[in-house]
Every structure is written in C-alpha cells, then in structure tokens.
Amino acid sequence: MFNNKFGMFIHWGAYATLGLHEQALARYNVPRDEYESMCMQFNPTDYDPEKWVLLAKEAGMKYICFTAKHHDGFCMWDTKQTDYNIMNTPYGKDTLKMLSNACKKHGLLLSLYYSNPDWHYEYGYNPESKSHQWAAKYKNQVDTVKLRDFIKAQITELLTNYGDIYTLFWDIPPCIYDPSLNELVRKLQPNIYINDRGWSEGDFSTPEREYESPNSAHFTRMTEACNSVGQQSWGFRKNENFYSKRHLCCAIDRYMSAGASYLLNVGPNDKGVITDEYRKNLMKVADWYNRMEGALESAEADDTDYGIRHNKYIASSKNGKTYLHFYEGLISSSVALQNYPSVPKKVRLLNNGNELMYELTLLPEFIDMNKLEQDKLLHIYGIDIDNFADEPIVIEIQW
C-alpha cells in the first residue's frame, strides 16, 4: 500500500569522478571521448551499500530510490543491452544487486530511477521530447521504436533480477504516448507504483526542488516530492552549496503533512562513499524528522478550520490525535484556536516532546467589542519557539 513515506534518493554514477554534476557531460561540455573513457575506468572501491542502507534507516527513511541509469546512459547494473555499464569497468561488480541485497537484509524498500533520454545509446535521441536531448551522441539516427525496444529490454532486466521494486521513477517525459511500457512494468511487478514522467499515465506525481502546494492543503493524488541536500547538483559535487536545515525541513513538513512522500537526495563520491559533509547535512534534517515520532507518515487529512490567525499551517490526524504543522514556524510563543471540538486531554510540542500549557480563555486581540458574549479560545502557550527557529513547529493535540 502506498502510504506516504520519507525516502533516500541516491544519484550515483561514473559522473561522480568529475565532482561537478550528474549532467556534467552536457553542462560542462566535457569532450565525449574523454567522458566515456572516464566512465569505463570507474572503480568505486569503497562502495558498501549496507552503510547507505543503515544511514537511511538512522534518518527515519523507509526506502531508497537508486539511479540505475542517468541521462549519460552509463548503467549501474549488469545489463546485457549495452557494454556501457559497471560490469566492464575495473570494479566489475553489479552495484544494484549489492544494494538490493542490503535493502532486503535491513528491511528497506527499493525503488529505481530510469532516464528516458540516453546520451550514449545509438537511438537515444528523441526529437519529440523538448528536454534533455542536447547531448545525444547520434542526433541523426532517430528511431523511437528501437529506443522503446531498448528501454523495454532494460526495464525487463531491472524488474526481473532485483527482487520486489517499490516504485519506478521514469525521468524526463518522452512526449510519446505508448502505454505498452507501463503495461510491461505492471506485468513484471504487479505491486509496483509508477510515476508520471513516463510513456503513459502513472500512479503518482513528482514535484521537484521548489514547488508550491496546491490550492487545497492536502494532495488529492499520490505524490512524491523530492529535493537534494545540495543546491547545485543531485550527483556528488565538490564544494557543493548545501541547503539550510530550515529550508529542507520546512519543505518536508509542508509536503508530508499534506500527504506526499518525500525523497531527500545525497550524491555518493567516486569511491562510493556518502561523504561526511553530505552525511552531516542529511542528519541535520533527520534529527528533526525523527523527533516527529512518525506523525508525518500515514496520517489522514484534517480539513477542519481551527481559526488560527497569522501562522500558515496544515492539519492532519493520526491515531485519534490532531497534528498542527506550522511549516514556516511560529511568529510568537502561542497558538489560539477559535474552533476546536473539545477541551484537550494533552497537548505536546513534538519538537522536544514536552507537554504544553493550554487554557480556555479570552484574548484581547480576538475580542469583538460589538458582542456582549464572547466565545473562549483554546489558547496553547509557552511554546519554546526560539530554540527551534531553524525548523517547523509541530503540535500534537490529544482530545
């Protein structure tokens, strides 16, 4: 069942050797012969997928989405469809098989990313798509039927040889409608979920990087948002610009409280290591996420208008409790609910787990001088906002 989850996105390929960007071939105009020669010398001798999996679990994540093939066409598994793959490098091991085994061992779900553009394959150029085609190797050899046959053969390998796959993340819409590809995916993996960037309608949408919530606070369709800890690149980048903890936590709280899953990406280096800098920035977010005690996963939408002024929030409910997610923080140390179902039994600040004080009272700001009788508000106060100024505030109410 697709319940919203926190997951780890991993962009990793031979491009990590350059330490520039996962699309370095195109964006930095690296000579193709030089780039492809470098790929075939890829040798990630320190790759230990168990360390990745255990880091993801420590961060509270439930699945890993791995880039089996990015736009450059270099394949990170034992594919029989092209020699341009990890098995023909000095490393010579199936990195995806190793990751699949580690996920099974430690109880994490495995998802796969697959790029529709292929800058190496003979028929990888697709003129119908307006995106990410500029670095194709053979722009004069257009045959999208052969391209689709090639993709089907690779997808068959990926969805046959690596156990249960949780989701398939097609990337870059091909602008060609061919439902046979998703039909093949479902035939090979009946329980899989497919995103909306492929060859026909998928199961879930995939907002990327910065994205504004829909008019309704809660997503009406299955959604998986994603961002990277690094601002400039999804793959490993030397001297990367890292997002602040506040920026990422606020986005995660906003999307997950509205019912979306969230993939947070890291880029391992050319040796296969998630470096200390990437790990540190990931764990800043994880520290906040784990203090939420699971409130962001599998919660139900709560469309009640609680009459809260001045602060943006999304309400959700889980196990009979209400969660108020102030995804941009609070402007003061209190929250006043003009509408509430009953007197609470307990109110907690999930950021530190402490109980909060509350009362039914009148507050000067809310008093209507034209009314003789006033409705009392549920006043929750004494919130330690300054100690949590770099993260969203989440309040749990047990009625």
Q: For residue 194, which phi and psi values (nearest 5 degrees)?
A: -120, 140
CA dihedral 244, 207, 317, 247 (to 10 degrees): 10
Classify 147 as helix, strand or coil.
Answer: helix
pLDDT over 70 (residue 373) = no
- Could you tell me the pTM of the whole model? 0.95
Q: What value does the mean pLDDT take over residues 321-339?
A: 97
Each residue's pLDDT tens digit, 140-179: 999 999 999 999 999 999 999 999 999 999 999 999 999 9
Q: How high is the pLDDT of residue 48?
A: 98
Pairing label, strands 346-349, 393-398? antiparallel
Domains and CATH numbers, the chain: 6-290 (3.20.20.80), 300-398 (2.60.40.1180)
10 close to 67: Cβ distance less than 8 angstroms: yes
- The residue among 318, 323, 294, 320 whose CA lies nearest residue 306 is 323
Which residues does 309 contact at the CB level (< 8 Å), separation at least 6? 336, 365
With tokens 């991993």, the residue in question is 10
Mean per-residue pLDDT over the chain, rounded: 95
Q: What does the alpha-carbon distance between residue 196 and residue 207 come to, in Å, rounded to a whole number?
A: 10
Each residue's pLDDT tens digit, 36-81: 999 999 999 999 999 999 999 999 999 999 999 999 999 999 999 9
pLDDT over 60 (residue 1) = no
Taking the CB of residue 82, how many other CB atoms lie within 10 A of it? Answer: 18
pLDDT over 60 (residue 391) = yes
With tokens 């969805």, the residue in question is 159
250 close to 327: Cβ distance less than 8 angstroms: yes
List the beta strands (DSSP E) in 51-195: 63-69, 109-115, 167-171, 193-194
Q: What does the alpha-carbon distance between residue 12 and residue 14 come to, in Å, rounded to a whole number?
A: 7
pLDDT over 60 (residue 312) = yes
Predicted confidence band of residue 130 (pLDDT cuts 50, 70, 90): confident
* Angstrom distances, CA of residue 10 to CA of 137, 191, 295, 324, 396: 25, 22, 25, 31, 32
Q: What value does the mean pLDDT take over residues 324-338?
A: 97
Predicted confidence band of residue 213 (pLDDT cuts 50, 70, 90): low
Q: What is the DSSP string of 320-365?
A: TEEEEEETT--SSS-EEES--SS--SEEEETTTTEE-EEEEE--GG
Q: What is the DSSP string of 196-244?
A: SSSSS--SBB--BSS-PPPSSSS-SS-BEEEEESBSS-SS--TT--BPP
Listed range (200-204, 242-246, 301-305, 361-365) with the worst mean pLDDT: 361-365
Listed range (2-11, 204-213, 249-258) with the worst mean pLDDT: 204-213
322 close to 396: Cβ distance less than 8 angstroms: yes
Q: For residue 287, which phi and psi values (nearest 5 degrees)?
A: -60, -45
pLDDT over 90 (residue 218) = no
Predicted confidence band of residue 364 (pLDDT cuts 50, 70, 90): confident
Q: Which tokens go with 293?
A: 């005690």
Q: What does the alpha-carbon distance between residue 31 and residue 34 come to, in Å, rounded to a whole number?
A: 5
Q: Which tokens go with 9?
A: 């996105």
Q: What value does the mean pLDDT take over residues 232-239?
A: 98
Q: What does the alpha-carbon distance between residue 122 and residue 35 come to, in Å, rounded to a whole number?
A: 17
310: phi > 0 → left, psi -120 to 50 → alpha, else beta; which?
Answer: left
